[in-house]
Structure 1
Amino acid sequence: MKYVILIHSNPQPWGHPTPDYLPEYQNMPKEQLERLNAEFETLLGELQEKGELLGGEALGAPESSRLYRWSDGKPLVSDGPYSEAKEHLAGFFLIDVDSQARAEEIAAQFAGPGETVELRPAMWPGGSDQ
């Protein structure tokens, strides 16, 4: 079963890695921050070894995005993201696991201070999520 782990964040200014820009991380003791970083790198390594991590990418600054909407029979382009948004999609990871329980176990480990993690099943061709 494939799932996407979506990392939502609100660093100001925008940048990657997002913890470098979030006050929750900036106010953390150096030893704690180093431990969290090491644990995350270990997690990624374990997921790769098990074949569960298919990929992932950090995304560029939200203000660099373009939105495309269908209007009057053609695409209408505007700058993105929505101006009222406080959180933005910072990046994603694609995983392939045996169960929803395993996906939830992994996603919980991606949630860090000041960030919101969304777990969503990936859809297969034809519309089924199984």
Structure 2
Amino acid sequence: MKYVILIHSNPQPWGHPTSDYLAEHQALPAEQRERLNAEFERLLTEMSANGELVAAEALADPSTSELYRWSGGEPLATDGPYSETKEHLAGFFLIDVSGPERAQEIALAFSGPGETVELRPAMWPGGEEH
């Protein structure tokens, strides 16, 4: 089953990994930050080794994005990424796992202080979840 893990964070200040730039993460004791980072790297290594990690990308500064919407029957490009929000999509991971329980386990490990992690089943051309 394929899932997308979406990483949302506040774009100010901007940088990757997002946790390094979040006050909530920076407020943790150094040894706790190091442990969390090591656990995350271990999980990524494990997922790569067992084929669960399909793709992952950090996304550029949200001020560089554009939105495309229809207006007056024509596509219209506007500044993005969202309208009137303090969060943005910072990156994503596409995973292929045995079921929802494993996807939930991974998504929980991806969450951290000051971040929002969204887990969503992937949809395929026929519209069904896989």
For normalisation by structure 2, the TM-score amounts to 0.95
The answer to whether the Cα contact below 8 Å between 2:11 and 2:62 also exists between their aligned partners in 1 is: no
Q: Which amino acid aligns with 1:16?
A: H
Q: How many Å apart are 1:81 and its aligned residue?
A: 2.2
Q: What are the Cα deviations for residues 37-92 of structure 1, in whole angstroms up to 9, with x where unaligned?
A: 11000000011111100010011111111000012222101001234111110100
1:39 matched to 2:39? The reply is yes
| 1:123 match: secondary structure | coil
Identity of aligned residues (%): 72
1:11 to 1:80, Cα distance in 2 relative to 1, 3 A: closer
1:111 matched to 2:111? The reply is yes
| 2:117 match: secondary structure | strand
Structure 2 stretches of 5 or more lacking a match? none
| Bigger mean CA deviation after superposition, 9-18 or 106-115 | 9-18
Between the two proteins, the alignment pairs up a number of residues equal to: 130
Report the Cα distance in structure 1 between the residues aligned to 2:126 and 2:80, rounded to whole angstroms: 29
Q: How many Å apart are 1:11 and its aligned residue?
A: 4.3
| 1:82 match: secondary structure | coil
Report the Cα distance in structure 2 between the residues aligned to 1:26 and 1:100, rounded to whole angstroms: 31
For normalisation by structure 1, the TM-score amounts to 0.95
| 1:37 match: secondary structure | helix
Q: How many Å apart are 1:118 and its aligned residue?
A: 0.3
- Please tell me the root mean square deviation across aligned C-alpha atoms, in Å: 1.1
Question: 1:27 maps to which residue?
Answer: 27
| Bigger mean CA deviation after superposition, 112-121 or 14-23 | 14-23
Question: 2:53 maps to which residue?
Answer: 53
Report the Cα distance in structure 2 between the residues aligned to 1:73 and 1:31, rounded to whole angstroms: 56
The answer to whether the Cα contact below 8 Å between 1:11 and 1:22 also exists between their aligned partners in 2 is: no
**What pairs with 1:1-130 in structure 2 (closer than 5 Å)?**
1-130=1-130
Q: What are the Cα deviations for residues 77-114 of structure 1, in whole angstroms up to 9, with x where unaligned?
A: 10012341111101000000111111111111100110
